[in-house]
Structure 1
Amino acid sequence: MRFTELDLSKPLQKTISGLGYEETTPVQTQAISPGLQGRDIVGCAQTGTGKTLAFLLPALERLLQDRTKTRNPRVVVLEPTRELAIQVAGEAQKLTAHTSLRVVTVYGGAGMKKQIDKLRRGVDIVVATPGRLMDHMRRKNVNFRDLQVLVLDEADRMLDMGFLPDIKKIISQMPRQRQTMLYSATIPPTILGLARQFLHDPVHIEIAMAQPPEAIQQALYPVPKHLKLQLLMAILEQMEIDSMLVFTRTKQEADVVTRQLRQTKVAVACIHGDFKQRDRISALEGFRSGKHRVLVATNIAARGLDVEGISHVINYDVPEHPEDYVHRIGRTARYEAEGNAITLVTLDDTRLIHRIEYLLGHKIKRETLPGFDYDVPTPSWARPSAKTLMQQATQSQSLADRWRAMC
């Protein structure tokens, strides 16, 4: 479907044309029309499918058709992280360029005063993280009396992060008569329960649930634990990599990887929860602009990181949840471009890899890096503990069999 076929007002059509959007993506094709009709929506769509536009366009069109004058927000979009809130608010600001609609971003890690001033001056669309929005509610800086549209974006991630009590409290202060759109990369029972509780007769949309784009070339690189960092640096040296996003499991590992890459003169930035907001924004902008060739991140960047042209995603650590694997590697090959996803795996990761392959429905090819020395002796810190040795002794597969299964 072409955007010109949608029943959108002239200001939005003008903006869409100026941004170069022509054809709708599958999720936009299925979601925008019922959204424009005011229907509640439960959308299962992975990142990179264009779902932000799928919920923003119906919400903005509703505001443009409504002549109500109010200082209170009429649309609220909830996001799990401040990065996503900033990103979605940026999209909303682009789309409202030819209108008088006002967009405010509300998130933690930034000063309250500027947010309070903007809220009190009047706002149409609030894009917020649940925790900071609750702070403003307690201080009576925001009133939902005139709210018309609520969007719960990345709902499964918000629940994983423990925001369910905050979400329920926020919704309890909103009018019952409203349009609610819920988008999630996965639809576990908890999300279905949330939808049953707060949505009315929703349209259900499902787009390629838990499947990465076919354009992503996936590979596993088995490696002893003590050689992971050396293998990462060798991959960076040998492969043609324009920009690389590296995911680690912990903040400490992110710092170690970043420090080692800097010592080899690699242009690298890092983001995780310990960084101040301005530093995280600076790192992301440097990566987007090409100033940094590599970005090292924990899971805070796994969802919705909007950077075009990422050629390689590296799972330095195998994610603990199979769905997170899909979200991570979805940062490359966005909008049907080609990309590469490489996962460094050790013997300890066997169970996690089997779960990922079960979710994908196929095995991921195993690779080795030509010329890399895999036979460097294991240092004492990387040797298995007594507990690990006992666990290995009780497994049906021998150590050699497990390595063969990984390779």
Structure 2
Amino acid sequence: MEDNTLGFAGFGLAPSLLESIDIMGFSDPTPVQQAAIPAILSGKDLIACAQTGTGKTAAYLLPIMHKLESQERMGGVNTIIISPTRELALQIDQQIVGLSYFTSVSSIAVYGGGTGSEFEREKQALKSGADIIVATPGKLISHLNMGYVNTDSIQHLILDEADRMLDMGFYEDIMRIVGKLPENRQTLMFSATMPPKIRQLASRLLKDPDEINIAISKTAEGVHQAAYSVHEDQKEELLENILDRPNLESVIVFSSRKSTVRSIEKGLLRKGINAKIISSDLEQREREEVLRQFRNRSFPVLVATDVLSRGIDIADLDMVLNFDVPHDAEDYVHRVGRTARAKSTGEAITFVTPKEQRNFYKIEQLTGIEVEKPSLPEKLGKAPEWQDPSQLRRAKTGPRGGRDASSSHHRSGRSGGSSGQGGGGSRQGGGNRSGRKPYRRKKGPNSGPGNAAAGQGPAKE
């Protein structure tokens, strides 16, 4: 066996899984995989805190799939993985496609926004018993309420991006799903953050769990971070100036507002910069097609709302640009986590208006990094000055958006570096699922692990 699989062989994983690991060229296990795989194999409940890019998806898939390969199947659904978004559900299922190529493990992604024929395919898989169901909460409840899903055989429940699900208001849905599952099961909870509400949920769902914490609230290694102090009316010109650099082939521009996303796209197209948007306004099929084209480098700039800030792996991004400061400091970590995967290099730029400076300083406190603060290009005019953080903390409200901030203090433009777990595997590809039965995969010439997951590795999301 190749040296790059010796680390995974040490877990005692099934030969069929090790063969997929070898063929797909995975690297050694990441820290979260080293900690989580033995715990899951032992049958323990687990709560794991690990950010995007550390390999947590494969950290739970590999031991679950090993159990399915190594133990006698009882029939029916064995594992339910709950995901906050359709995109993450599809991504998880694509990893299963690659990892299961040399196994008999079956799976299906169950999410809203599909056609009637897709609903029937989901129904058939749930009735007949696909081994692993990857589902969004609402769509899974729709199937469970119809009475044809036999949950007696379920041995594993996995909550992925649990903090995000609570932020999106899925608590009641999660508890409704849990109420339909056997009490004698193994429950795994993965979260990028560990606020009190996550610990409360864990106390309700998990029994004497092991706990893993990997690089909480740290941006990935290799990310060069910079922040520009700007007035609102300087943002679009600065964005166009930055995107005019040569050799930028893959950039995501994030904004918290759908209206701003549409405005950015129109402005870039007027300047001859090929850009497309993705937001909740698009139909699911449209969103999937835009993502497919972006991954294939059909256009260089994707303008996105927060729907992409977590859980979507797009490989080899040159830059992530925050058009506005994320409302939640943790969201900054996830946005920045889209670049510099697998400890490669990347760039993260944030535009900060005077009224957003307080929130941006909170991000620096959270990550432990003083972000570089370069000057605006002269042609853009005078920029607001950076306020002293201590003055912002004393003020009842942040500085409001006049043309000049009130403080004369200007912070150093030096970066404090980056720390934390970079982790992250290489590339994300669309799973080739042509020729499949409702949920069983045919091993045709175009459905090998390299096509199913296009170089995805356990060291990535």
**2:202 corresponds to 1:198:** no
2:124 to 117, 129, 132: 117
Is the Cα–Cα contact under 8 Å of residues 222 and 345 in structure 1 kept in the other structure? yes
Residue in 1 aligned with 2:426? Answer: none
- Secondary structure of the residue aligned to 1:399 is coil
- Secondary structure of the residue aligned to 2:109 is strand
Provide the aligned length of Structure 1 versus Structure 2: 391
- Secondary structure of the residue aligned to 1:295 is strand
Q: Which amino acid in the other structure matches residue 280 of structure 1? A: R
Q: Which amino acid in the other structure matches residue 90 of structure 2? A: I
- Measure the CA separation in 2 of the matches of 1:268 and 1:365: 27
How far residue 405 of structure 1 moved from its aligned partner, in angstroms, is 5.9
How far residue 370 of structure 1 moved from its aligned partner, in angstroms, is 3.6
Residue in 1 aligned with 2:41? Answer: 36
How far residue 392 of structure 1 moved from its aligned partner, in angstroms, is 7.5
For residues 208-223 of structure 1, the aligned pairs below 5 Å read: 208-223=215-230
**2:80 corresponds to 1:99:** no
**Which has the larger share of helix?**
1
Residue in 2 aligned with 1:278? Answer: 285
How far residue 402 of structure 1 moved from its aligned partner, in angstroms, is 7.1
Residue ranges of structure 1 left out of the alignment (5+ in a row): 377-389
Q: Which amino acid in the other structure matches residue 102 of structure 2? A: H
**2:89 corresponds to 1:82:** no
1:308–1:392 distance in 2 versus 1, CA, 3 Å? closer
- Secondary structure of the residue aligned to 1:257 is helix
Is the Cα–Cα contact under 8 Å of residues 74 and 147 in structure 1 kept in the other structure? yes
Q: Which amino acid in the other structure matches residue 235 of structure 1? A: I
How far residue 35 of structure 1 moved from its aligned partner, in angstroms, is 1.1
1:235-257 superposed Cα distances (whole Å, 9 cap, x missing partner): 00136422111100111111111
Residue in 1 aligned with 2:66? Answer: 61
Residue in 1 aligned with 2:454? Answer: none
How far residue 4 of structure 1 moved from its aligned partner, in angstroms, is 2.0
TM score, norm. by length of structure 2: 0.81
- Measure the CA separation in 1 of the matches of 2:82 and 2:342: 24
For residues 153-302 of structure 1, the aligned pairs below 5 Å read: 153-238=160-245, 240-302=247-309
- Secondary structure of the residue aligned to 1:190 is helix
- Measure the CA separation in 1 of the matches of 2:297 and 2:352: 28
Is the Cα–Cα contact under 8 Å of residues 228 and 350 in structure 2 kept in the other structure? yes
TM score, norm. by length of structure 1: 0.92
Deviates further, 93-102 or 224-233: 93-102
Residue in 1 aligned with 2:77? Answer: 73
Flag the structure with more relative contact order, 1 or 2, with Cα contacts below 8 A and sequence separation at least 6.
2
For residues 124-139 of structure 1, the aligned pairs below 5 Å read: 124-139=131-146
Q: Which amino acid in the other structure matches residue 308 of structure 1? A: A
1:102-132 superposed Cα distances (whole Å, 9 cap, x missing partner): 1111011113233223323431100000011
- Secondary structure of the residue aligned to 2:228 is strand
Deviates further, 16-25 or 336-345: 16-25
Residue in 1 aligned with 2:17? Answer: 12
Is the Cα–Cα contact under 8 Å of residues 309 and 338 in structure 2 kept in the other structure? yes
**2:338 corresponds to 1:368:** no
Let me know the Cα RMSD of the aligned residues.
2.1
- Measure the CA separation in 2 of the matches of 1:394 and 1:117: 57
Is the Cα–Cα contact under 8 Å of residues 235 and 369 in structure 1 kept in the other structure? no
**2:56 corresponds to 1:51:** yes
1:315–1:394 distance in 2 versus 1, CA, 3 Å? closer
Residue ranges of structure 2 left out of the alignment (5+ in a row): 1-5, 384-395, 414-461
How far residue 45 of structure 1 moved from its aligned partner, in angstroms, is 0.2
1:124-170 superposed Cα distances (whole Å, 9 cap, x missing partner): 10000001101111112422110011110000000000000000111
